[in-house]
Amino acid sequence: MIIKFYCFLAVMLNILIYFVLGSLITGRLKKLRFSATLSLITGFFLYYVLFELLCIPMTLSFRPLHFLSRIWAGVLIILFIISVFMNHRKWAVLCGESCAFVRSHPHFCLFSLFLLITELIIIIGCYQFTLDAAFYVGSANTCLTTDSLNIYNPYTGMWQDHFEMRYFFANYAVNDAVMCFLTGLHPLVWTKTVMEAVVIILVNTVIYRMGCALFKGDTGKTGVFMFFTVYLSFFYSTIYTAQEFFITRTYEGKTLIGSLVIPLILLVYIKLLEDPGYSFYWWLLFLMSVGSLVLSNSASMIFPAALGIFMLSLFLIKKDIRILVKTALVVLPCLMSVLSYVLYVKGYFVIRTMPG
């Protein structure tokens, strides 16, 4: 029971961190009203982009996990303080608005909460066996146990003489290991309970915002839309669908690509239809581009494809060449990741795990 309480606190901590980080960006926006859900989503990707910026140099300099963990904790604390200083007034206003929203839409709020809790109980309560967990959870546990960053083979635990470039940028599991080090939770508990809950909350947040965008804020229709979307997900099930990944492989980084990133691209596309020049959404897409690479190396192909499809549509509608230029810039990190992997596979370079 105590560990479940710790898990609850860890989930809340994650949500708080994303919200606080996201507020650093969304709190500065002039055109958009300050939003908790938008801050949460923005903060999630900002979190992983910042983590990557710290993790890659640490990995290349063979630093131990505990060193990265302490530095990362320090960075988060500093950003937390800065965000409190910059956004506390906005948060106070948001609290008031949120309370007013709950009072004016009690049925919608209760219904959404019920839907979310039901998903959490069903998905987290289920035993999930997938072969890929040997990588995603095994990698986090290996980094934690060996106090190192991607130096040991997660499948066998044996030392590797070079970094596997396929996973070099996908440091989602390393972040899991870092958070396990900081919280003291076992990687299995962190990945299969805490992060699962976080992912479910984030995916539902995107579905909620999608409903708001499609139904112009009509909470009744949005509630039914959310329910139908979640319900249908439980019936679109083969071992390949994004929905199956979301329900049975929630702890895997690539699940987030199918269940969070792609629906979010659609949501941003809907927003860009209204104002294709609004820079915030392009910056959000850029954060998503880099952040997705951290979640899973699959993003290096899927993200450009998904974004390309929606932005090509936007270009055909708006007939503005700048849309294509911005899209190309946004997907550049993904394409560079593909290029580096191809060069590695072709034998042009290798990064050793020991200097000299």
Partner 1 sequence: MQSISAAGDGLNFLFKCIALYNGSSFCLVLYLLGLVFIALKGGKELKRIFLYPGLIILFTVYNPLLPLIINRFFDINKEYYRFMWIPPVCILPAFLAAAYVMGEGRSRGFRIVGFAGFLLLFAGIGSFVYGKGYVPAENVYKIPNEVMAVSKLIRENTDMKYPVAVMDRDMQMEIRQYDATILLACDRTQYLDFLGDVDEDQLTREKNEYVNRLLSVIAKYEKIDKDSFREALNKTNTQFVVVERVSPMLRYLSDAGLESVGTTGSRVVFKFELEDPQYLDLADYSGVW
Which residues between 23 and 62 bind partner 1 (CB under 8 A)? Answer: 61-62
CB of 238 vs partner 1, minimal distance in Å? 4
- C-beta of 99 vs 345, nearer to partner 1: 345
Site for partner 1 in 207-226 (CB under 8 A): 207, 210-211, 214-215, 218, 220-222, 224-225
Site for partner 1 in 257-286 (CB under 8 A): 257-258, 262-263, 266, 269-270, 273
For residue 196, give both structure tokens: 């699962």
- C-beta of 18 vs 269, nearer to partner 1: 269
Q: Residues near 153 by Cβ (< 8 Å), separated by ≥ 6?
A: 142, 159, 160
| The one among 30, 31, 158, 321 contacting partner 1 by CB under 8 A | 158
| The one among 98, 118, 241, 279 contacting partner 1 by CB under 8 A | 241
Question: Residue holding tokens 């899973």?
Answer: 296
- C-beta of 87 vs 219, nearer to partner 1: 219
For residue 172, give both structure tokens: 């989602």
* Distance in angstroms (rounded) separating the CA atoms of residues 155 and 147: 16
Q: Is the separation of the CB atoms in 284 and 159 below 8 Å?
A: no
Q: Is 250 in the site for partner 1 (CB under 8 A)?
A: no
* Distance in angstroms (rounded) separating the CA atoms of residues 193 and 8: 9
Q: Is the separation of the CB atoms in 22 and 40 below 8 Å?
A: yes
Residue among 231, 155, 18 at smallest CA distance from 223: 231
Q: Is 8 in the site for partner 1 (CB under 8 A)?
A: no
In 3-state terms, what secondary structure has residue 162?
strand
- C-beta of 94 vs 123, nearer to partner 1: 123
Q: Is 304 in the site for partner 1 (CB under 8 A)?
A: no
End-to-end, the C-alpha distance of the chain in Å comes to 50
Question: Residue holding tokens 């988060």?
Answer: 76
| The one among 13, 29, 56, 64 contacting partner 1 by CB under 8 A | 64
| The one among 242, 256, 264, 294 contacting partner 1 by CB under 8 A | 242
Interacting span for partner 1 (CB under 8 A) from 36-44, 71-79, 181-189, 284-292: 181-189
Q: Is 164 in the site for partner 1 (CB under 8 A)?
A: no
Q: Is 188 in the site for partner 1 (CB under 8 A)?
A: yes
- C-beta of 109 vs 270, nearer to partner 1: 270
Amino acid of residue 181 = F
- C-beta of 90 vs 221, nearer to partner 1: 221
Q: Is 235 in the site for partner 1 (CB under 8 A)?
A: yes
Phi and psi torsions of 250, nearest 5°: -60, -30
Residue 222 CB neighbours (<10 A): 24
